[in-house]
Structure 1
Amino acid sequence: MCFAPKFKISVKQLTKKVFLFGRLFYYQGSAVECPVCKHSFRKMLPGGFHADVINKLEIIGAGYRLHNICPYCLSTDRDRLVFLYLINRTQFFNNSNRVLHISPEPSLHRIFKKSTNLTYLIGTKYAEGSYYPAGISFFDLLSIPYPDNNFDVIICNHVLEHIEDDIQAMAELFRVLKPGGYAILQVPISNKIEKTIEDFTIIKPEERHEAFGQFDHVRVYGPDYKERLEAVGFLVEKQSPYTQEWNINHLFKYALNKKEELYIAHKSPNQDKTK
Structure 2
Amino acid sequence: MRQIIKKILKRTALPLYLQFRGLYYSGNTVNCPCCNHSFTHFLPLGVDRRPGQCPRCRSNERDRALWLYLQRHPAFIAPGKKLLHIGPEAIFYNYFRKIKGLQYTPADKFAQMFESTYPADTIYLDITDMPEIPDNTYDVILCSHVLEYIHDDAQAMRELRRVLKPDGIALIQVPIKHGMKKTYQDYSITSPAQRAIAFGDPGHVRFYGEDYADKLASQGLAPDFIPFTTLFSEEEIRRYGLVKYDDFQLTSKVELYQQLAGMPLLLLSMLA
- TM above 0.5: yes
**Cα gap change, 1:12 to 1:146, in 2 (>3 Å):** closer
AA matched with 1:39: H
For 2:123, the equivalent position in structure 1 comes to 137
The residue type equivalent to 2:145 in the other structure is: H
Shift of 1:266: 1.4
The unaligned stretches of length 5 or more in structure 1 are 1-9, 51-63
Tell me the CA shift for residue 240 of structure 1: 2.6
1:36 alignment counterpart: 34
Counterpart for residue 265 of structure 1: 251
After TM superposition, give the deviation of residue 212 of structure 1 in Å. Answer: 1.6
* Higher RCO, 1 vs 2 (CA within 8 Å, ≥6 residues apart): 1
1:167 aligns with 2:154: yes
- Deviation of 1:222 after TM superposition, in Å, equals 0.5
Report the secondary structure of 1:169's partner residue.
helix
Aligned mates of 1:248, 1:271 — CA distance in 2: 41
Q: Is the 8 A contact 1:196 1:219 kept in 2?
A: yes
For each residue in 1:222-258, what CA deviation from the matched residue of structure 2 results, as whole angstroms up to 9, or x when unmatched?
Answer: 111100101111111111331x246998453211111
TM-score by length of 2: 0.82
Matches within 5 A, 1:25-174: 25-50=23-48, 64-66=49-51, 68-89=52-73, 91-126=75-110, 129-130=113-114, 131=116, 132-144=118-130, 145-174=132-161
Deviates more, 1:127-136 or 1:157-166: 127-136
Say which SS state the counterpart of residue 185 (structure 1) adopts: strand
Superposition deviation, residue 152 in structure 1: 0.6
Whose helix proportion is higher, 1 or 2? Answer: 2
In the superposition, relative to structure 1, how do residues 206 and 252 fare at CA in structure 2: closer, same or farther (>3 Å)? closer
Aligned: 1:201 with 2:199: no
Residues 249-264 of structure 1: pairs in structure 2 closer than 5 A:
250-264=236-250
Are the counterparts in 1 of residues 133 and 163 from structure 2 also a CA contact under 8 Å? Answer: yes
Does structure 2 retain, via aligned residues, the 8 Å contact 1:31–1:42?
yes
Deviations 1:43-79 (A, max 9, x none): 22221113xxxxxxxxxxxxx321x112222111111
How many Å apart are 1:187 and its aligned residue?
0.9
1:22 matched to 2:42: no
CA contact (8 A) 2:64 2:242 kept: yes
Give the letter for the 1:159 counterpart: V
In the other structure, the counterpart of 1:212 is: 199
TM-score, L = length of structure 1? 0.81
Which residue does the alignment assign to 1:54?
none
Pairs aligned (count):
247
- Tell me, yes or no, if structure 1 residue 225 matches structure 2 residue 212: yes
| Whole-angstrom CA distance in 2 between matches of 1:12 and 1:169 | 32
Match of residue 239 from structure 1: 226
Give, in whole Å, the separation in 1 of the partners of 2:215 and 2:177. 15
Q: Is the partner of 1:30 in helix, strand or coil?
A: strand
Q: Secondary structure at the match of 1:266?
A: strand
Mapped partners of 1:104, 1:98: distance in 2:
15
Q: In the alignment, what sits opposite 2:167? A: 180
Give the match's secondary structure for 2:244.
coil
* C-alpha RMSD of matched pairs (Å): 2.4
* Cα distance change on mapping 1:107 and 1:11 into 2, 3 Å: closer
Q: Which runs of 4+ in 1 moved over 6 A?
A: none
Distance 1:98 1:13, change over 3 A: closer
- Within 2, Cα distance between the matches of 1:86 and 1:18? 28
**Contact 2:111 2:122 (C-alpha < 8 Å) held by counterparts:** no
What is the aligned partner in structure 1 of residue 270 from structure 2? none
Report deviation, 1:20.
Answer: 2.4
Identity %: 38
